[in-house]
Chain A
Amino acid sequence: MPKAVVNKLLGVCAVVVGVVVLYVTLGMGTTATWAGLAVTLAAMAFLASKC
């Protein structure tokens, strides 16, 4: 599998994990949700760096 394809797959996996974490934090209070958003932001930045 070409490296570019693997990188994109990793980026997608990171976003999925980030958003799952975000969903879990919804309803757990403001601080937890901000932390979830921070994880999602990091995952999105990772995706952008791989595409």
Chain B
Amino acid sequence: MSIVTWVLALAPIVLVLVLMLAFKVSGARAGVIAWVLTAAIAFFVFHAGPDILGAGTVKGLWSTINVLYIIWSSMFLYNVVNETGAFKVIAAKFTEMTNGNKLLQLLILGWAFPTFIQGVCGFGVPVAVATPLLIGLGFDPLMSVITALLGHSWGIAYGSLGSMYGVLTGLSNYPKESAENLMKVGIWGAIFCTIGCLLVGFCILHNYGSKSTKNVGKTMAEGAIAVVFLTAVMGATLIGMVAISAPTLGCFAAGAVGLILGTLVLPKLPMYKPAEGAEAGEKTSWGEFLKNFSGYLILVIVVCAIMLINPIKTALNNIVTLGLHFNANQLGGGLTYGNAEVAKYSGLKFFTMPGSLILYSTALAILCYKSLGMMPEGALGQAWQKTIKQSIGSTTTVIPLTMMAMLMVEAGMTKYIAYGIAMVVGNFYPIFSPFIALLGGYVTSSGTSSNNLFTNLQEDVATVLGISVPIILSCQTAEAALSNSFSPGNAALGTGVSGQSGREGEILAATGVYNAIQSLVLGVVAFVLIKMGLGM
């Protein structure tokens, strides 16, 4: 391990951040430049041959298909709903339900609602669904993207029906040793995610205060009770679901409880009631609201039906799985790192892919709106034209950035960075453990992939240092989940669905700071708990 090699391995990530944040270079150009630099470092420093450079690049493009499918389909759904004029009615009803309190609307629709969606279907869908709704309610587009990115992130560790949790417990040895160990990992993970949930709530308030109300202190003070309330009900639900051995439904249940109690209880609290004498807005009937909201209701029903009813999911999954074959490869120059042969890399189950679910829902929504007489002449053509214009920018950003990231993974550069950190920090490792998870999430734009990359590393280091394995694994999975708000791929997804292409740097600048704080807090909590002798 050499410091020069470690710095060079980190260079592409730093270059992307510098180009996008400091020089305002477009995500596409920054990605292309970083891909070239990654290839050069992989070849000259890590002795990667053309087979590794080629495989990493192809895997990168293949990995974008899922994200791009979500961006294009969700943007189309949004534009279809928008063409009917439904957002005016939806906004009016939410305004009425929340006493016109923008802060409550933001927290319920930008935090509890995406958590609920994340419970059944992750991979960017919560951001793609919640962001347009917030914009439709009149929130600033960029602020809406950041809110949805933050809002859905904390639950990812137990979201998507537990896919990320499955990777964590599947890869590490500790939970396999006994049922008690498995429960320890689950409970500590849920506790760390709940801490993440609280941090996310305050980050959303801070973001809203700094970007919209321009009074951070007042916004934070006003929203503190709501944040604590939602954290308490969602966190307790998550921990409870894990305790009854149902971690796969943890995020889904937490989001549902947060959504229901947030809507029913928070507007009734004295501090969120309208001031006396304030004029009540125009009433919107529930029938009118449901008619206009039907596009997104159909999405929730379709997603739940396919993901929760196992026979339907299995039948659709079995129709076709698309994947590419890759041979095993090995770094040269005496280095031992290599990648195994894969028959179907990142197999895409086409009929249950999130993009497909959104597309089915869009088709049903079109039929529904047409039958209700809400679709104007030529609306579909208009919606498609707008979708192309809004989605192409993020497409050009996602592709090169993901190609760069997968090339780093294929050449072993990402693991080299993580092992370097682990070797240097020694007993202070718990503080740095979440930053390793953050690195994985940033590079791959996926909490699951971060767990794939670093679960073994985190467990190995904890075992060697003789510290709590479940706490370190919990740090890994909690921050890997939170890091979804700070990754170029997800930022591009957010700008894509909000029509803000080219502003990815501004999103990363904000979520980068929030993620650094979240990682530090989780790390310090882990360090203190381990010093207290807990989690052994």
- The contact of B395 among A8, A26, A30, A34, by CB within 8 Å, is A8
Q: Which residues of B contact A27 (CB under 8 A)?
A: 51, 327
A16-49 residues at the B interface, CB under 8 angstroms: 16, 19, 22-23, 25-27, 30, 33-34, 36-37, 40-41, 44-45, 47-48
Q: Tell me which of B36, B51, B393 contacts A26 (CB under 8 A).
A: B51
Contact between chains at A5 and B392 (CB < 8 Å): yes
A37 to B389, CA, bound (A): 30
Query: Does A15 lie within 8 Å of B399, measured CB to CB?
Result: yes
Given the complex, which residues of B lie within 8 Å of A37, measured CB to CB?
39, 50, 53-54, 57
For the complex of A and B, 8 pairs with smallest distance between CB atoms:
A51-B28, A33-B50, A48-B32, A19-B61, A8-B392, A23-B58, A44-B32, A48-B29
Contact partners of A23 in chain B: CB under 8 A? 54, 58, 324
Whether A2 lies near B26 (C-beta < 8 A) is no
Q: A27 — nearest CB in chain B belongs to which residue?
A: B327
> A12 and B57 in contact (CB under 8 A), knowing A26-B327, A27-B327?
no
Complex CA distance for A23 and B55, rounded to whole angstroms: 8
- Hey, which chain A residues are within 8 Å of B29, CB to CB? 48, 51
Q: Say if the beta carbon of B388 comes within 8 Å of chain A.
A: yes
A15 to B403, CA, bound (A): 11
B35 interfacial by beta-carbon distance below 8 Å: yes
Q: From B49, B54, B58, B396, give the contact of A12 (CB < 8 A).
A: B396
Contacts of A41 in B (CB 8 A): 36
B400 interface residue, CB < 8 Å from A?
yes
CB distance from A46 to the nearest CB of B (A): 10
Q: A27-B51, A44-B400 are in contact. List 19 more A-B contacts (CB 8 A).
A: A1-B385, A1-B388, A2-B389, A8-B393, A8-B396, A9-B392, A12-B395, A15-B61, A15-B399, A26-B54, A26-B327, A36-B50, A37-B53, A37-B54, A47-B28, A48-B29, A48-B33, A48-B400, A50-B396
In the bound complex, how far is the Cα of B329 from the Cα of A27, in angstroms?
A: 11
Distance in angstroms from B397 CB to nearest chain A CB is 8
- Asked if B326 is at the interface of the complex by the 8 Å CB criterion, the answer is yes
Question: With a CB–CB cut-off of 8 A, which chain B residues contact A51?
Answer: 26, 28-29, 396
Known interface pairs A23-B324, A33-B54; A47-B392 also in contact (CB < 8 Å): no
Contacts of B35 in A (CB 8 A): 44
Q: A26-B54, A48-B32 are in contact. Are A16 and B326 (CB under 8 A)?
A: no
Chain A interface (Cβ within 8 Å of chain B)? 1-2, 5, 8-9, 11-12, 15-16, 19, 22-23, 25-27, 30, 33-34, 36-37, 40-41, 44-45, 47-48, 50-51
Find out whether the CB atom of B396 lies under 8 angstroms from the CB atom of A47.
yes
Chain A residues with CB under 8 A of B326:
26
Asked if residues A48 and B389 are in contact (CB atoms below 8 Å), the reply is: no
Once the chains bind, are A11 and B49 in contact (CB under 8 Å)?
Answer: no
- A5-B391 Cα distance, complex, nearest whole Å: 10
Residues of A within 8 A of B389 (CB): 1-2, 5
In the complex, are the beta carbons of A45 and B32 less than 8 A apart?
A: yes
For the complex, give the distance between the alpha carbons of A4 and B401 in Å: 21
What is the 8 Å Cβ interface bit string for chain B, positions 221-238, against chain A (1 contact, 0 not)? Answer: 000000000000000000
A19 to B58, CA, bound (A): 6
Residues of chain A with a CB closer than 8 A to B400's CB: 15, 44, 47-48
Question: In the complex, which residues of chain A have a beta carbon less than 8 angstroms from the beta carbon of B403?
Answer: 19, 44
**B50, A30: Cβ atoms closer than 8 Å:** yes
Task: List chain A residues, Cβ under 8 A from B393.
Answer: 8
How long is the Cα–Cα vector from A9 to B385 in the complex, in angstroms?
Answer: 13
Q: In whole angstroms, what is the CA distance A18 to B28 when docked?
A: 16
A48 contact set on B, CB distance < 8 A? 28-29, 32-33, 400
Question: For residue A30, which residue of chain B has the nearest CB?
Answer: B50
Task: State the Cβ distance, B161 to closest chain A Cβ, in Å.
Answer: 31
- Chain B residues lying within 8 Å of A30, measured Cβ to Cβ, are 49-51
On whether the beta carbons of A12 and B392 are closer than 8 Å, the reply is yes
With the chains together, A5 CA to B394 CA distance in Å? 12
Bound-state Cα–Cα, A48 to B196, Å: 37
Q: Smallest CB–CB gap between A12 and chain B, Å?
A: 6
Mask for B130-168, Cβ within 8 A of A = 1, else 0? Answer: 000000000000000000000000000000000000000
Quote the shortest CB–CB distance from A38 to chain B (angstroms): 10
A25 B54 Cβ-Cβ under 8 A: yes
B388's contact among A5, A15, A16, A22, by CB below 8 Å, is which? Answer: A5
- Whole-angstrom distance between the alpha carbons of A50 and B55 in the complex? 25
Cβ < 8 Å to A, chain B residues 51-74: 51, 53-55, 57-58, 61
A50 to B397, CA, bound (A): 12
Which of A1, A16, A44, A45 neighbours the largest number of chain B CB atoms within 10 Å of its CB?
A44
- When chains A and B are docked, how far (Å) is the Cα of A30 from the Cα of B54? 10
| Chain B stretch 203-224: residues in CB contact (< 8 A) with chain A | none
CA distance A40 to B57 in the complex (A): 9
Give the residues in chain A near B61, CB-CB below 8 Å.
15-16, 19
| Chain B positions within 8 Å of A25 at CB level | 54
* Least distance between A16 CB and chain B CB atoms (Å): 7
- Closest approach, in angstroms, between the C-beta of B353 and any C-beta of chain A? 18
A30 to B: closest C-beta gap in Å:
6
How far is the CB of B166 from the nearest CB of chain A, in Å?
29
Query: Separation in Å of the A3 CB from the closest CB of chain B?
Result: 12
B16 to nearest A CB, angstroms? 14
**In the complex, what residues of B have CB within 8 A of residue A36's CB?**
50, 54
Per the bound structure, the CA–CA distance linking A5 and B395 in Å amounts to 11
A33 cross-chain contacts in B, Cβ below 8 A? 50-51, 53-54
